[in-house]
Amino acid sequence: MRTFVENRFGLLAVVTVVLAVLYGVAWITRPAPAAPAASAPRKVPVESVTAVCPGTKGEKVGVYLPGSLAYETMKSGAPYVTDGPGALEAGYTVRVAGGADRGLAGVRCTEPAPVTWLLGPGPADAAVVLRLANADKAPALVDVQVHAPEGPVSGDKGVGLEVAPGRQRVIDLRTLAPSAEIAAVSVTTILGRVAVSARAVLETGGVDWLPAAAPPATRVVVPGIPGGGGGRQLLVATPGETDAVVRVRAVGEDAEYAMRGRETLDVPAGGVVSADVTTGLGASSAALVLTSNVPIVAGAVMTGTGQRQDVAFTAGTPSLELGSAVARNGAGSRLVLTAVGAAAGRVRVQVVPGKGAAEPPFDVDVPAGRTRSVRLKARGDFAIVVTPVSGEVYGGRVLEERLKDGLMLTVQPLAPARVWTLLPPLTDTPRVVAP
């Protein structure tokens, strides 16, 4: 034994065995670890914003910053890029009273995003042009996938598309999926930062920009559907590999209900389906609430009335929890607000004119499970800022103009303002370094 102890390697072995036994006893008798306290996402201020709009030569872009509204005329068809502090909002509306592009077309300047979803008519029924804008000084790489009713149809033709620094790449969807009558388009940024927009001109008449849809989720609210005549069509896509069974409820001005014959929709994996909800909604302003067994994306197509019909689009969007703003509005503008759930909603609306002092804000109450249409009486061009007060409220801005040959309209869902963002909760765990 004396020889064993005097041997340094033997002593090291003894110490190792003793430590292993002590560690084992401590591991077995340790108290159960306390579960981490549940925490909600943190609301933090946005410090800077890059907003990108598709270029339209000669059009005026409205740029909103807290308390002020300015305009800038685009000198070319190049992408319009504006940088600024948090709360910046920008966009423009094109009005064409005649010809093939007759209609109102409104677009919001969007920030570059990792993935963008768009839903609307397919190349078989409309000229749909996708614009990919690279706002940085380095090349960007994207994948474009077109989903039709039968599933993904664009194959490898949209994979690995390069967008040059500071430039935009224009893609006619006919080159990717010529026969699709309805489509859901996903644009995934592989390298760099790319802002996505798409303009659709229907063969039957009407023009507008497609708004970006909320990311795939099992609960989606499609707001801002105006009342009145004209067609209403719901579009739903399932990005994953499992078929979706989607329950659809309408929230109108007088009731929340399941539309007869449209209570559920079956959406094949990777596909997109449409449902005519014109009769189900009637003449009521509304939102559609969709719940599904798997994540989905959704949007809606609305056509006007008259001899020449215009078209407008809306899409699933988050609630007004972070507030919202629309930079470019005019005569004929109104808000379509919906309170979802058992509690009534309230928002505060601020009108910011292009000239002169801002008007005092006013509150809008929306009964639980109802939709309310609020006409904005401001004159000239103006911005609107919508701030949440209470309840779960969703909304859209509708702009209409009645001409002798038909109603012109455009819809912009109220996307989250760039004042705040939600950071996911962080948990102290060794899993982040475990193999």
State residue 17's pLDDT score: 66
State residue 39's pLDDT score: 64
pLDDT per residue, tens digit, the chain (435 aa), is: 555 445 555 656 665 766 666 666 565 666 655 555 556 677 788 888 999 999 999 999 999 999 899 999 999 988 999 999 988 999 999 999 999 899 999 999 999 999 999 999 999 999 999 999 998 999 999 999 999 999 999 999 999 999 999 899 999 999 999 999 999 999 999 999 999 999 999 999 999 999 999 999 999 999 999 998 899 999 999 999 999 999 999 999 999 999 999 999 999 999 999 999 999 999 999 999 999 999 999 999 999 999 999 999 999 999 999 999 999 999 999 999 999 999 999 999 999 998 888 889 999 999 999 999 999 988 889 999 999 999 999 999 999 999 999 999 999 999 999 887 777 776 655 555 555
Secondary structure of residue 173 in the 3-state scheme: helix
State residue 331's pLDDT score: 92
Q: Which of 95, 106, 280, 105 is nearest to 202 (CA)?
A: 105
d(CA 93, CA 27): 66
In a domain, 34, yes or no: no
In a domain, 161, yes or no: yes
- For residues 121 and 182, is the Cβ–Cβ distance under 8 A? yes
In a domain, 255, yes or no: yes
d(CA 365, CA 224): 16
Note the Cα 125 to chain centre separation in Å.
24
d(CA 319, CA 368): 14
Burial class (CB in 10 A: 0-12, 13-18, 19+), 212: buried
d(CA 51, CA 423): 20
DSSP-assigned letter for residue 415: P
State residue 324's pLDDT score: 97
Instruction: Give the HSE-up count for residue 16: Cα atoms under 13 Å, Cβ half-sphere.
Output: 6
State residue 6's pLDDT score: 56
How many of the other CB atoms lie within 10 Å of CB of 277?
Answer: 21
In a domain, 23, yes or no: no
- For residues 173 and 128, is the Cβ–Cβ distance under 8 A? yes
Number of domains, the chain: 1
In a domain, 26, yes or no: no
d(CA 126, CA 102): 14
- For residues 223 and 413, is the Cβ–Cβ distance under 8 A? yes
Q: Which helix (H) or strand (E) holds 12?
A: helix 8-29
Secondary structure of residue 20 in the 3-state scheme: helix
Q: Which helix (H) or strand (E) holds 169?
A: strand 168-172
User: Looking at the chain, how many residues does it have?
Assistant: 435
Phi and psi, residue 431, nearest 5° = -60, -25
Note the Cα 217 to chain centre separation in Å.
12
State residue 355's pLDDT score: 85
In a domain, 158, yes or no: yes
d(CA 143, CA 432): 29
In a domain, 3, yes or no: no
Q: Which amino acid is at 425?
A: P
In a domain, 179, yes or no: yes
Instruction: Give the range of the structural domain holding residue 230, as residue numbers without chain letter.
Output: 50-422
